[in-house]
């Protein structure tokens, strides 16, 4: 199975901050990477797929980049509704696997 390692596991940030979350795969995944946002007690919501494609309805302050084994999610200006846990997900090779999550908290 492909292991997905996210960093950091948690971070504290203020409204308006630029936040970057990284995800490293144990082998190359050819941009077959999605990012999800999950709020407490709710299902995950798809933010981006194919590493950098924004899902319909997702604000443009979210962006993704990367290649090979290393990927990142950037929130350009953190808003109050962005405090949540974020997961990366590789779908290059079955079984699909997820990162352990990054919790973004209010500073």
Partner 1 sequence: QVQLQQSGPGLVKPSQTLSLTCTVSGGSISSGAYYWSWIRQHPGKGLEWIGYVYYSGSTYYNPSLKSRVSISIDTSQNQFSLKLSSVTAADTAVYYCARDDRLPSGGPAGYLDYWGQGTLVTVSS
Check binding of 32 to partner 1 (CB under 8 A).
Answer: yes
Residue with tokens 């971070």: 11
Rg (CA), the chain: 13
**In the stretch 37-76, what mask flags binding to partner 1 with x, by CB under 8 A?**
-----xxxxx--xx----x---------------------
Which residues, 2 to 31, sit near partner 1 by CB under 8 A? none
68 close to 28: Cβ distance less than 8 angstroms? yes
- Residues found near partner 1 in the complex (CB under 8 A): 32, 34, 36, 42-46, 49-50, 55, 87, 89, 91-92, 94-101
């Amino acid at each position: 199975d492909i292991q997905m390692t996210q960093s950091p596991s948690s971070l504290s940030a203020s409204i308006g901050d630029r936040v970057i979350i990284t995800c490293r795969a144990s082998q190359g995944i050819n941009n077959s990477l999605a990012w999800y946002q999950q709020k407490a007690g709710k299902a995950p919501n798809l933010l981006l797929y194919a590493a950098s494609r924004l899902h319909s309805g997702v604000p443009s302050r979210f962006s993704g980049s990367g290649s090979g084994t290393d990927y990142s999610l950037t929130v350009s200006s953190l808003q109050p509704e962005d405090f949540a846990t974020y997961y990366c997900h590789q779908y290059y090779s079955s079984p699909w696997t997820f990162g352990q999550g990054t919790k973004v908290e209010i500073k």
